[in-house]
């Protein structure tokens, strides 16, 4: 059986796909994705102290996680229409603002139900940023930048636990840890609103022009591969995110409430966990062009299986 056509036959040239992309704009995109990881530490590291504040059982964090995840899924389906109508820059800037407001709402929440309610706009805004920036990178830049983009999420996810751990270790309390993270999102939102002119009106403007000369044979090859991957890619992503998210959410609670570690130390270990993911993503980003997307996926599956066996 003949091998599938090479992706280089159908993919736009780097010069065409990266048209209009400057180094400063790439840094802005990376900063925006860092903001996606920052709030993740709020309920993972802060939950033992937060649940005591609201008099909730340990398992109650599951409700917040489910509500936020469903909101992000709904947002992922709606956000392309928002991008088309208002432009990707406004969607990302509004989402950063919304995440800041959501965190401040958690700080002011006098009842657990209010914290659950605040996870709805947080999930919506996080999902919008995720979809918009992933699409932009996929259409205009290379696999290297896609890995580095998700590495930037890891920077935020590693920094957030350190902020929460520092607040819990001192006399500030979890509320001030959340306020500091919200303030970082607020500064980013101001930067995004001030740089709206840097962003394209939609993520696909340059991509439409770049693929205009692709042959019909190449289009057919792309569609054939996408049909085969349409069910496998979401399944792999579901399994990976389940493992990553589950560990991030429960690690601090398990370490502090079952292993007896101080909450500040548990937060440090959560930061190390996300930091390890970040290092791996940046390292893979350097090799992504040479290895190729399909080999990366296969290698990731093998290494994930080996890691799971090691943990067991």
Q: Enumerate residues 6+ apart whose C-beta is below 8 A from 212.
A: none
DSSP 155-170: HHHHHHHHHHHHHHHT
Number of domains the chain is built from = 1
**CA distance linking residue 164 with residue 61, whole number of Å:** 17
Q: Which domain holds residue 130?
A: 16-204+237-311
- For residue 218, tell me if it sits in a domain: no
**CA distance linking residue 97 with residue 95, whole number of Å:** 5
**CA distance linking residue 207 with residue 212, whole number of Å:** 9
- For residue 154, tell me if it sits in a domain: yes
pLDDT in tens, 58-86: 889 889 999 998 999 899 889 888 888 89
- Residues 282, 147 contacting (CB under 8 angstroms): yes
Of residues 93 and 212, which shows the higher confidence score?
93
Distances 265 to 161, 179, 217, 256 between C-alpha atoms, Å: 10, 20, 57, 8
- For residue 220, tell me if it sits in a domain: no
- For residue 78, tell me if it sits in a domain: yes
- For residue 9, tell me if it sits in a domain: no
- For residue 197, tell me if it sits in a domain: yes
Measure CA of the first residue to CA of the last residue in the chain; give whole Å: 38
- For residue 10, tell me if it sits in a domain: no
- For residue 228, tell me if it sits in a domain: no
pLDDT in tens, 206-247: 444 434 443 444 444 445 555 666 677 777 777 777 777 777
- Residues 116, 67 contacting (CB under 8 angstroms): yes
Q: What's the confidence (pLDDT) of residue 228?
A: 62
Domain of residue 32, CATH code: 1.20.1250.20
Nearest to 99 by CA among 128, 73, 70: 128
């Amino acid at each position: 059986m003949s091998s599938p056509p090479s992706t280089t036959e159908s993919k736009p040239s780097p010069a065409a796909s990266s048209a209009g992309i400057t180094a400063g704009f790439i840094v802005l995109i990376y900063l925006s994705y860092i903001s996606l990881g920052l709030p993740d530490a709020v309920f993972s590291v802060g939950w033992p102290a937060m649940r005591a504040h609201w008099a909730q059982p340990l398992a109650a964090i599951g409700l917040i996680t489910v509500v936020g995840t469903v909101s992000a899924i709904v947002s992922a389906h709606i956000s392309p229409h928002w991008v088309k109508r208002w432009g990707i820059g406004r969607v990302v800037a509004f989402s950063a603002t919304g995440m800041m407001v959501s965190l401040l709402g958690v700080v002011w929440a006098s009842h657990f139900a209010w914290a659950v309610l605040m996870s709805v706009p947080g999930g919506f805004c996080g999902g919008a940023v995720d979809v918009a920036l992933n699409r932009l990178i996929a259409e205009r830049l290379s696999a290297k930048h896609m890995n580095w983009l998700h590495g930037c999420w890891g920077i935020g996810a590693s920094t957030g636990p350190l902020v929460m751990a520092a607040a819990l270790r001192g006399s500030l309390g979890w509320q001030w840890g959340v306020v500091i993270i919200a303030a970082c999102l607020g500064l980013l939102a101001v930067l995004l609103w001030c740089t709206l002119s840097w962003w394209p009106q939609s993520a696909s403007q340059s991509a439409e022009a770049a693929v205009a000369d692709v042959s019909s044979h190449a289009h057919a090859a792309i569609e054939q591969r996408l049909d085969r991957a349409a069910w496998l890619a979401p399944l792999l992503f579901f399994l990976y995110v389940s493992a990553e998210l589950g560990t991030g959410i429960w690690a601090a609670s398990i370490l502090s409430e079952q292993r007896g570690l101080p909450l500040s130390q548990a937060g440090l270990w959560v930061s190390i966990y996300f930091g390890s993911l970040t290092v791996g993503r940046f390292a893979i980003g350097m090799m992504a062009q040479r290895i190729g997307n399909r080999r990366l996926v296969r290698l990731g599956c093998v290494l994930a299986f080996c890691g799971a066996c090691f943990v067991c």
